[in-house]
């Protein structure tokens, strides 16, 4: 469809301009290659699937229906269609996903809310408005009741959006469950959406927004789904179009030649098989040991990560377990969730990070204030200031999980900016008999790492936020992706400062930000003095295999070369010249 004139008729001017720019003027034979920022390596060829947006109430009909009983029939038919679709999907999936779909279908047909909507339609409201009002009645009530009932609020709102979309003849909102393996293309995705993706059906992920360290990117890494973000021109590629996504080159090719696309997939698979042969433990070619650890979001991710050569967990992002919660999980619930990760890595190192709520990961129960600039606001450890119970309950949950599993984790705090914060956090962790550490994500913490290390046993550098705060560039901004590039020498100078401080007192300094997932940059980090690298499962093999190819001296030479550079591109080239 893209090879001839009609493309400009059916698609926007933006796409046409992009198309002509990226095909070197030969619009008749080439396919448009859209460029973005590579996030998860891997090449896949599949049709595009797109999430539907929740229908806005601005477009709901306002006039009273001429025949309320016909309107009620229209409403009931929409509910039946939505529930049937959910049940049909449940039969085509398995495990917890099937249970969730069946439960949602049952809730869609719940008599209480259907009755509330019927009543409003009978009183003359159009079905769309009746649905919104009836759902609001129950969500208000459930929110007030709190606990498990409050958790149904999101489910009911999801049903509301599906029923209204059905009434208005719009595509189903949310991330669809495709019938065939597909490439999910979206403007951006909420962490809760991406967390539920099935990697067997969503085989590629491309977004037009978001940076390489956005949480969409992080979860794509977690699931090992090839991913490219900040892809210009992506929003006009329609659902159903065949695309070739290349998560290494950072490209999305629209309607490529099918046999060339199949060859590209086969070649990439061959390269993957080579890295799959690396079996650990982490070390340079001349035997300098480097811990290769994995980042996980929950027990399921940890169990999957046990199939990689990862020696332990370097970052357990606990807040990702609770993104859909409006109420604080109990200590027992938390203990059970953390215990799953400790059990998956029994007898091995596990670093648990306390809740990093705020900014792009708001937690309903964290009591965060409305702020004009949340990335610089009350997030991470700062939440504990006004809400010390939250931290204490979490530490109690972690300690209980440690007792139950016999695996003693290290515990670290996000967003530490001062030695005083580190001291207070360490005291709280010691009270539970656990080993405290902190993340280095704020430049102040890197600059004063020696003073922070007087209080804690280890540092873990979060290069995603460290880049954001060093370069004063929002990590979510596609426009600023070049600034939040972890190859920026200013960011690496701060990594060097923190690693030096750790080396001086013999305390470990790891990197758990996305920089550790880039095999070349991982070698540079080792040259800077970093003692462990923690990355998503999908990156473990590539990072370990690359490190095993180079000597410690090469890593150190590359680190020196990079620190002498003026920019990220120059730094990459300098490192490549030394590390291959």
> Would you please indicate which residues are annotated as catalytic (active-site) residues?
215, 512
Cβ 456 to ligand PEP shortest distance, Å: 17
Give the Cβ contact number of residue 123 at 10 Å. 10
Helix (H) / strand (E) containing 160: helix 147-168
The closest of 320, 371, 81, 280 to 194, measured between CA atoms, is 320
Cβ 563 to ligand PEP shortest distance, Å: 20
* Residue 31 interacting partner from ligand PEP, Mg ion, none (CB closer than 5 to 8 Å by kind): none
462 binds Mg ion (CB under 5 A): yes
Only one of the segments 221-229, 314-322, 386-394, 460-468 lies at the binding site for Mg ion (rule: CB under 5 A); that segment is: 460-468
- What single string gives the DSSP state of each residue in 506-553? T--EEE-SGGGGSHHHHHHHHHTT--EEEE-HHHHHHHHHHHTTS-HH
Determine phi and psi for 511, rounding to 5 degrees.
-120, 130
- DSSP H helices in 345-440: 383-386, 388-405, 419-431
Question: What is the chain's Cα-based Rg?
Answer: 25
DSSP 226: -
Which class for 179: exposed (0-12), middle (13-18), buried (19 or more C-beta within 10 A)? Answer: exposed
Nearer to ligand PEP, 315 or 568 (CB): 315
Cβ 376 to ligand PEP shortest distance, Å: 14
Cβ 513 to ligand PEP shortest distance, Å: 3
550 binds ligand PEP (CB under 6 A): no
User: Which CA distances in Å does 340 have to 35, 298, 346, 485?
Assistant: 39, 8, 10, 34
Contact of 562 with 524, CB cutoff 8 Å: yes
**Cα 442 from Cα 424, distance rounded (Å):** 17
* Residue 512 interacting partner from Mg ion, ligand PEP, none (CB closer than 5 to 8 Å by kind): ligand PEP
Nearer to ligand PEP, 439 or 453 (CB): 439
Site for ligand PEP in 278-307 (CB under 6 A): none
465 binds ligand PEP (CB under 6 A): yes
Sign of CA dihedral 249, 255, 257, 258: positive
Cβ 541 to ligand PEP shortest distance, Å: 20
465 binds Mg ion (CB under 5 A): yes
Site for ligand PEP in 496-515 (CB under 6 A): 512-513
Q: How many residues bind Mg ion (CB under 5 A)?
A: 3
Only one of the segments 127-135, 331-339, 458-466, 522-530 lies at the binding site for ligand PEP (rule: CB under 6 A); that segment is: 458-466
Per-residue interface string for the shown chain with ligand PEP, residues 306-345, x marking contact by CB under 6 A: ---------x-x----------------------------
Q: How many residues bind ligand PEP (CB under 6 A)?
A: 12
Nearer to ligand PEP, 398 or 400 (CB): 398
* List of residues contacting ligand PEP (CB under 6 A): 213, 218, 315, 317, 356, 441, 462-465, 512-513
* List of residues contacting Mg ion (CB under 5 A): 441, 462, 465
């Amino acid at each position: 469809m893209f090879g001839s004139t009609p493309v400009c008729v059916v698609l926007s001017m933006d796409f046409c301009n992009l198309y002509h720019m990226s095909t070197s003027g030969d619009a008749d034979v080439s396919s448009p290659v859209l460029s973005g920022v590579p996030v998860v390596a891997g090449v896949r060829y599949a049709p595009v699937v797109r999430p539907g947006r929740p229908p806005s109430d601005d477009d709901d009909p306002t006039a009273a229906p001429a025949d309320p009983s016909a309107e009620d029939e229209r409403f009931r038919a929409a509910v039946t269609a939505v529930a049937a679709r959910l049940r049909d999907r449940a039969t085509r999936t398995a495990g917890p996903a099937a249970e969730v779909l069946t439960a949602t279908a049952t809730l869609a047909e719940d008599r209480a809310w259907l009755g509330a909507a019927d009543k409003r339609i009978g009183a003359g409201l159009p079905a769309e408005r009746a649905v919104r009002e009836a759902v609001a009645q129950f969500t208000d009530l459930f929110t007030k009741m709190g606990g498990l009932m409050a958790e149904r609020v999101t489910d009911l709102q999801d049903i509301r959006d599906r029923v209204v979309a059905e009434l208005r003849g719009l595509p189903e909102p949310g991330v669809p469950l495709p019938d065939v393996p597909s490439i999910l293309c979206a403007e951006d995705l909420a962490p809760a959406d991406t967390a539920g993706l099935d990697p067997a059906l969503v085989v590629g992920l491309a977004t037009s927004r978001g940076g390489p360290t956005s949480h969409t990117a992080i979860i794509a890494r977690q699931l090992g789904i090839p991913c490219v973000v900040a892809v210009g021109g992506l929003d006009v590629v329609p659902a159903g179009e065949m695309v070739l996504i290349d998560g290494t080159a950072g490209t999305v090719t629209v309607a490529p030649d099918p046999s060339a696309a199949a060859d590209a997939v086969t070649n990439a698979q061959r390269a993957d098989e080579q890295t799959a042969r690396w079996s650990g433990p982490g070390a340079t070619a001349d035997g300098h040991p480097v811990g290769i650890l994995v980042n996980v979001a929950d027990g399921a991710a940890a169990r999957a990560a046990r199939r990689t050569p990862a020696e332990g967990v370097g970052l357990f992002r606990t807040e990702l377990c609770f993104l859909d919660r409006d109420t604080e999980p109990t200590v027992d619930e938390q203990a059970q969730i953390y215990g799953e990760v400790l059990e998956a890595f029994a007898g091995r190192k596990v670093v648990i990070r306390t809740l990093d709520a705020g900014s792009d990961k708001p937690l309903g129960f964290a009591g965060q204030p409305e702020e004009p600039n949340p990335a610089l606001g009350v997030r991470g450890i700062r939440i504990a200031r006004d809400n010390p119970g939250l931290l204490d309950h979490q530490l109690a949950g972690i300690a209980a999980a440690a007792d139950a599993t016999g695996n003693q984790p290290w515990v670290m705090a996000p967003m530490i900016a001062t030695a005083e914060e580190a001291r207070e956090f360490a005291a709280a962790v010691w009270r539970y008999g656990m080993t405290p550490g902190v993340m280095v994500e704020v430049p102040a913490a890197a600059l004063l790492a020696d003073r922070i290390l007087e209080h804690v046993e280890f540092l873990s550098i979060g290069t995603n936020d460290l880049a954001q705060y060093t370069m004063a560039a929002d990590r979510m901004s596609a426009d600023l992706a070049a600034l939040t590039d972890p190859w920026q020498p200013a960011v690496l100078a701060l990594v060097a400062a923190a690693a030096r401080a750790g080396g001086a007192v013999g305390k470990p300094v790891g990197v758990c930000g996305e920089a550790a997932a880039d095999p070349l940059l991982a070698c540079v980090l080792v040259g800077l003095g970093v003692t462990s690298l923690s990355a998503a499962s999908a990156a473990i093999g590539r990072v370990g295999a690359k490190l095993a190819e180079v000597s410690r001296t090469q890593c150190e030479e590359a680190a020196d070369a990079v620190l002498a550079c003026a920019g990220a591109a120059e730094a990459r080239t300098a490192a490549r010249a030394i590390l291959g």
